[in-house]
Structure 1
Amino acid sequence: MGAGMAGFMAMSPVQAEQPATFGYSAVMAGATDYMFRGVSFTQGEPMINAYVEFTYGIAYLALSAENINSGSPDDIGYGALGPWEQDIYIGIRPTTGAIQWDIGLLWYIYGVRGGGVGVWDRDFFELKLGMSVSPTENLTIGATSFYAPEQGLALPEGLTLQGDVSYKLKNVGVFTPTLSATVGRWGLAENAHYVGGYFVDVDGDPHKSIVYWNAGLRLDVERLFFDFRYWDTNISSSDTDARFVFSAGIDLSP
């Protein structure tokens, strides 16, 4: 993946370099559920999230923290997570021609509620390669891949492929509405800790992948946003069944 990116960027026109400057942004948000690739990580309960990002030119460092409550304390699977999660993202966002890239490393750090599992046993990291284009002023289309190496109890080796599309509509009064949708496949191999697959359905059967999708409407007004979204997957369980999720937040950026 890295070699392919290097070759592509070497052959593609790159935007003229701009003087690098420091910047930061911050968002506080809440939601009726914490959905991660179609899986509820709060058992259908509300979630509060704080996000801050620092940038210097095309480089970025972001920190995210949220509450999490997933399953029984005796579950050594992903159900052992809680009561908090902290994420660290680092990467670059270069531009080649009309394509905006996002190349980064994502580190997920979890609190663990019992189950005989240590805190560091459940943390995992992924490599991210994303791209997006805007064929028209209001339309954005993107594709992202996430690769997770084998990480024992935390995660088997896995690959996620995801597509996104969004379209900004004309203002309605003080609101700026945006329609968006996502579809993805989160695939994970099996290992000694996840025999048969990482994802478990309502009958207790394991699966090596989950297909997830969502569609919704976001309304922006000044620094506030409100998002109304429908989620579903191809696996039936209490954490992956269809549901509507409402989220709202405030942009605290300067």
Structure 2
Amino acid sequence: MMGIEMKKVTLLATALAMVTGSAFAADLHVKALKAPPPPAFDPWDIAFGGAIMSDYIFRGVTQSNHKPSVAAYFEPRYNINKDLQLYIGVSGESISFANRAAAEIDVYGGIRPTFGAFAFDIGVWGYLYPGGTCYNGGNGGLAVDAGGNPISAECFANFLPNGNVMKKDVSFFEVYGKVTYTINDNWSVGLNEYYSPNFLNSGAWGDYASITAKYTAPSTIFGSSGVGMYVSGEFGRQFLGTSDSFYGTTFTNPGFAGPFPNGIKYADYNTWNVGIGFTYKVFTLDLRYSDTDLNKGNCNAFTSAFNGSGTTNVTAINPTGVGSNWCGTAGIAKLSFDLTAMTNLK
């Protein structure tokens, strides 16, 4: 009897040992298969894209003579952490200026810190316009500008039929600060400030301030199609100083406009735009209305438009009466694509 009992105890002990050993082995296996550590943080990224638009409008003023324009950009980024990004970039747009420059090349860089719902963008933007030609308005047959300063032989030899003038090189730079406040998943508002000590190399300082608002529709508005939609708008004011003597005038319109041999005080103006956009994957179609309160005479003095015409648009700074439509109402259709290496090229 005792032998039988001993055998039972031995068998039970063996079974328990096997179960315990199996459980221990299984536990070791589970621990060996636990989730791997997250991948290392890669701070580098690159954004790039392009666009085709029916009109290139910059602060309410056409840069392409109300004709189509193409654009592209390339922007390397370095993320110090999830809330602080450094960036540099280069972009280009096709244009049609009075000095016949055919392209705008932008070189820029800055920093983008984020604090909760506030996203800031602070940097420097350089606008380069290669390939320009100097034009003067005849100036009574004298090889000097309105201030009596000598002008180059090249500039003196080139005339615009409407008497407008423009320098060969109108490149300039701005410093800027922007902030966007995200209210919720649908609404955001922003403030922008840009300053240049020599806007368009005209000798006049320039300061642009604007407010923006954007409504992004819920992602389900078009069902599961993947199409998104937004509505956005901007209201801004461009403040401008006094040009140098190259853009001055000795011409007087009797009883209205006096001569400005040392330059003209450009007219400040308001500009606004509103539009609707549709997104699909990396593509955006933006349809926008843009306008300013700058009249044709002051627009001509500011832009030196090569196709300005007429004699009735006389203002205090535009005694010739030539007028330009470069600052008026415009409708813009823009199709663009935007990618980032970390998101779209993995």
Pair in the same fold by TM > 0.5: yes
State the Cα distance separating 1:240 from its structure 2 match: 1.0
The change in CA–CA distance for 1:154 and 1:190 in structure 2 (over 3 A counts) is closer
Query: 1:154-233 alignment to 2 at 5 Å?
Result: 154-170=202-218, 171-173=221-223, 174=225, 175-192=227-244, 193-195=246-248, 207-233=266-292
Q: What's the TM-score once normalised by structure 1's chain length?
A: 0.80
Q: Which runs of 5+ in 2 are unaligned?
A: 1-40, 80-84, 136-154, 156-165, 250-256, 258-263, 297-324
Counterpart check, 1:55 vs 2:114: no
Q: Which residue of 2 aligns with 1:16?
A: none
Q: Which residue of 1 aligns with 2:117?
A: 98
What letter matches 1:230 in structure 2?
Answer: Y
> In 2, Cα distance between the equivalents of 1:28 and 1:178?
20
What letter matches 1:143 in structure 2?
Answer: L
> In 2, Cα distance between the equivalents of 1:40 and 1:135?
32
Question: Does the CA-based 8 Å contact 1:124-1:155 persist in structure 2?
Answer: no
Q: Secondary structure at the match of 1:62?
A: strand
The change in CA–CA distance for 1:151 and 1:210 in structure 2 (over 3 A counts) is closer
State the Cα distance separating 1:135 from its structure 2 match: 1.3
Q: Which residue of 2 aligns with 1:150?
A: 198
State the Cα distance separating 1:221 from its structure 2 match: 0.8
Counterpart check, 1:64 vs 2:91: yes
* Higher percent of residues as helix: 2
State the Cα distance separating 1:155 from its structure 2 match: 4.6
Counterpart check, 1:28 vs 2:28: no
State the Cα distance separating 1:219 from its structure 2 match: 0.2
Match 2:104 to one of 85, 93, 98: 85
CA distances 1:181-210 after superposition (whole Å, capped 9, x unpaired): 0110111101324459xxxxxxx9974212
State the Cα distance separating 1:39 from its structure 2 match: 0.2
What letter matches 2:107 in structure 1?
Answer: I
Question: Does the CA-based 8 Å contact 2:104-2:128 persist in structure 1?
Answer: yes
The change in CA–CA distance for 1:114 and 1:191 in structure 2 (over 3 A counts) is closer
Q: Which residue of 2 aligns with 1:123?
A: 171
What letter matches 2:70 in structure 1?
Answer: I
Q: Which residue of 1 aligns with 2:338?
A: 251
What letter matches 1:222 in structure 2?
Answer: K
Counterpart check, 1:43 vs 2:65: yes
What letter matches 1:246 in structure 2?
Answer: A
> In 1, Cα distance between the equivalents of 2:333 and 2:43?
35
What letter matches 1:98 in structure 2?
Answer: A
Q: Secondary structure at the match of 1:80?
A: coil
Question: Does the CA-based 8 Å contact 2:133-2:167 persist in structure 1?
Answer: no
The change in CA–CA distance for 1:133 and 1:67 in structure 2 (over 3 A counts) is same
Q: What's the TM-score once normalised by structure 2's chain length?
A: 0.59
Q: Secondary structure at the match of 2:328?
A: coil
Q: Which residue of 2 aligns with 1:139?
A: 187
The change in CA–CA distance for 1:125 and 1:81 in structure 2 (over 3 A counts) is farther
* Larger radius of gyration between Structure 1 and Structure 2: 2
Q: Which residue of 1 aligns with 2:147?
A: none
> In 1, Cα distance between the equivalents of 2:247 and 2:206?
12
The change in CA–CA distance for 1:64 and 1:141 in structure 2 (over 3 A counts) is same
Q: Which residue of 2 aligns with 1:5?
A: none
> In 2, Cα distance between the equivalents of 1:163 and 1:93?
18
Question: Does the CA-based 8 Å contact 1:139-1:167 persist in structure 2?
Answer: yes
Q: Secondary structure at the match of 1:82?
A: coil
State the Cα distance separating 1:20 from its structure 2 match: 6.7
The change in CA–CA distance for 1:56 and 1:141 in structure 2 (over 3 A counts) is same
Question: Does the CA-based 8 Å contact 1:33-1:45 persist in structure 2?
Answer: yes
State the Cα distance separating 1:151 from its structure 2 match: 6.1
> In 2, Cα distance between the equivalents of 1:151 and 1:236?
20
* Higher percent of residues as strand: 1
> In 1, Cα distance between the equivalents of 2:332 and 2:275?
9
The Cα RMSD (Å) is 2.4
The change in CA–CA distance for 1:206 and 1:159 in structure 2 (over 3 A counts) is closer
